[in-house]
Structure 1
């Protein structure tokens, strides 16, 4: 074990991320302004841990200044959140802005800028309006793509003079994978055709918003935020390697390739056709995706995904699912976050960075989310009531270490954003697993207080020196 101190480049972002729906609460929300997340919560509340969900969340809409003051104290360079599409407009067809809700973002963004914090704004973080989900089938509809572009225009018009780092989607693959591919979230409908249509329409929407942004000559950058699962095969066998390759094709490259290269992998298109997956796309749409690529990609990295070759023959009576080609592999002896059920393997940062360098022409990207959710953190409070989350400090340190090592080896990684600044609501888990630098005390009217990791992060930002104990094998 060695003690190392590694300098952090001055232009390397040290910030934090969250989203509108996971923090704001419903205060002031008008009738018919529900999002997909809101109706899932209302229709399926029993699956949300202890009934907590987006209704109050962290009450940021009323307490944003308190949170901005804490961001300033810690010294965050950047903060990424979303604007809630379902609330920003009162009329989705005609893109009529809700001035009450928009004024919240007028104030919130201004408060960040006045505190020296760069706002990074995402246009959609699972916040598809419920009305469009019910009426048109959500992102299965090309009309919804056009309505989203109208919404984006209104947001850009209002905030382009304040915001210079924009993102179209956060984790665009997630909802349709949980709902239409795996059928594990409301409304529980397995339909691989719908899954792929949502994928394509979100890629198309991304390109159309990039086109809009550039045609209006807005200053700044426009990107997207993806959550690829860094995938490892069980072994070097041909069968296991193929399983990992195809898992990566369906779950990662379906968005990575359009973002970085402007096109789908030909193998993906051929396999979808082979398995009779029906999705509506045109040569014109593919050309738009090719011509209007994002400036940068935020990457959310939490855990590795390990697979092996499928050992059971697929039931031919079942709809096609990519699991036709793989099975999960449980690595013996892996290090686990037992609260979340996720493997801890910080080298995913380095391996992904090298992939971008080698396969995607070393294009610009940064870590947009990375963090550690722990259950019942109250048990770690000291006599002063401060949560002693050394496990989070170690987790963050190791992931930043691998990012810095990747940069040293030529990767174009622009920074590290922690998930999350405060504890916040997660899908289904609600407040069960806590991720924040800042504790949200539900028993004390959601009072905010800094954890040990917040004081550590403050020092890290101030000194820009990463002090870490490292096994010699990692040096």
Structure 2
């Protein structure tokens, strides 16, 4: 066997870094003038739903430790980082008075990034609806669309001279799925018609935010972060399996991808929604809002594929309609698994996404905005130097980067790769159950950070802008 190695080089100025969100890392969730969001409230009324009863109050304490954390990012080769602004920290009630303490905090954070020569990519909404906005209907209420556009304009006006990459939403399909179909997020509704309304209003809110950004004539770019989960049919020769995979793709991927990038919904999706009496309330002028406010770039979060087959039986009309009326899930016999999350590991999916964007979405500039591996009880792998030897994470990232490089070499317009996440953080209902970070966070010891083996490995990749692999 050959021991020869060679390097896969990435494009000049390629962005290397990680992603996180405000609620999952900042802490100080009820301090410094911040208003409650839905996570603060849900934990208050149902703490038993949260893993080990750990809520969003402190999370990873980035609010107090951001200077040290940003320095750590620089030390492991980051040239970019994505996080979010907490709407309820900046504007406690979602509309109205701005919290000056929040303005000062975010200005300081952004300055620290810039001083360390790390490009900040800032998201406006990462699952954290202000409670005051949720109390009047959240994304079901068109009024919230207007409130979000106002909030976006405030962010652009306050910070746009520092921030050159904005994203409107992170994974907007997730609040639709988890909040209005599967009871994983507050408000825990199961109603596909309401879910469609939430999805539609979110897409309009994104376009309206971009409209605000354009009106200010700032010199940056505005995009959106989507979790694209390729839908693979059980049998590529079976028309019913192909139909099932196409519907899954329409519902979970193209419902946001097409309006964001192409400025309109796919006709097949419109037909499906009409046929099943799911048409949302639409306002005059919405079609033009979408068409005239497409994204400048796309962020793609990729973790796993979706494998489906034709439904085995007709959906029971006495049950609430769900996406699973149109397909059954299918387990690929050759699958590799991350047993801790129950997710399939399929590295080629990132290449398939790259080709899809190139061939079907005008080869819009895009980057991998999240990719990562969550593992429980990583303390098992601590060595004598107090470093977690997470070789499984290194292997996961390396294999995805090989496929990403192939996509780039074939012309896909990808400009960066971000891991989820820089340090272990709080993960919605799962708390600190699954760890994803390059840095371990010891929540029992004042959130002490310590680097993992993967962080040291990533430093070499980022600083060399290349991936060393063995010749086969």
Q: Same fold (TM over 0.5)?
A: yes
2:212 matched residue in structure 1: 212
Which residue in 1 is equivalent to 2:25?
23
Cα-to-partner distance string for 1:267-294 (whole Å, 9 max, x where unaligned):
2112111111141013511111011101
1:67-466 equivalences under 5 Å are: 67-94=69-96, 96-134=97-135, 136-236=136-236, 237-466=238-467
Whole-Å separation in 2 of the counterparts to 1:364 and 1:84: 26
Q: Secondary structure at the match of 2:23?
A: coil
1:33 pairs with one of 32, 35, 45? 35
Report the Cα offset of residue 384 of structure 1: 0.8
Deviation of the 1:140 alpha carbon: 0.8
Q: Given that residues 77 and 117 in structure 1 are in contact (C-alpha distance below 8 angstroms), is that contact kept between their aligned partners in structure 2?
A: yes
CA contact (8 A) 1:32 1:131 kept: no
Question: In the alignment, is the contact (CA less than 8 A) between 2:29 and 2:40 conserved in 1?
Answer: no
**Contact 2:370–2:420 (CA under 8 A) maintained in structure 1:** yes
Task: Please list the CA deviations of residues 308-363 of structure 1 after superposition, one character each: whole Å capped at 9, or x if unmatched.
Answer: 11002101112222211100001113111111111111111100011111111211
Q: TM-score with structure 2 length normalisation?
A: 0.96
Maintained 8 Å contact 1:91/1:97: no
Contact 1:44 1:186 in 2 (8 A): no
Relative to 1, partners in 2 of residues 1:92 and 1:463: Cα closer, same or farther, differing over 3 Å?
A: closer
Q: Is the contact between residue 78 and residue 118 of structure 2 (CA under 8 Å) also seen in structure 1?
A: yes
Instruction: Give 2:61's aligned residue.
Output: 59
- Which 4+ residue blocks in structure 1 deviate beyond 6 angstroms? none
Q: Secondary structure at the match of 2:92?
A: strand
Equivalent-residue separation in structure 2 for 1:359 and 1:263 (angstroms): 14
Given that 2:20 and 2:421 are in contact with CA atoms closer than 8 Å, whether structure 1 keeps it comes out as yes
Residues 164-217 of structure 1: per-residue CA shift (max 9 Å, x gap): 000000011111211212234443321112111111111111111111111110
1:50 paired residue number = 52
Query: Unpaired segments of 5 or more residues in structure 2?
Result: none
Distance 1:154 1:19 in 2: 19
TM-score between both structures, scaled by the size of structure 1: 0.96
Unpaired runs of at least 5, structure 1 = none
Shift of 1:29: 2.5
Inter-partner Cα distance in structure 2 for 1:103 and 1:38: 22
SS in structure 2 at match of 1:374: coil
Give the C-alpha shift of residue 43 in structure 1. 2.6
Contact 1:226 1:298 in 2 (8 A): yes
Aligned residue pair count: 469
Pick which of 276-285 and 208-217 moved more: 276-285
Is the partner of 2:123 in helix, strand or coil? strand
Judge which range, 278-287 or 385-394, deviates more.
278-287
Q: Given that residues 179 and 189 in structure 2 are in contact (C-alpha distance below 8 angstroms), is that contact kept between their aligned partners in structure 1? A: yes
Give the RMSD, CA atoms, in angstroms.
1.5
Q: Quote the Cα distance in structure 1 between the aligned partners of 2:301 and 2:259.
A: 17
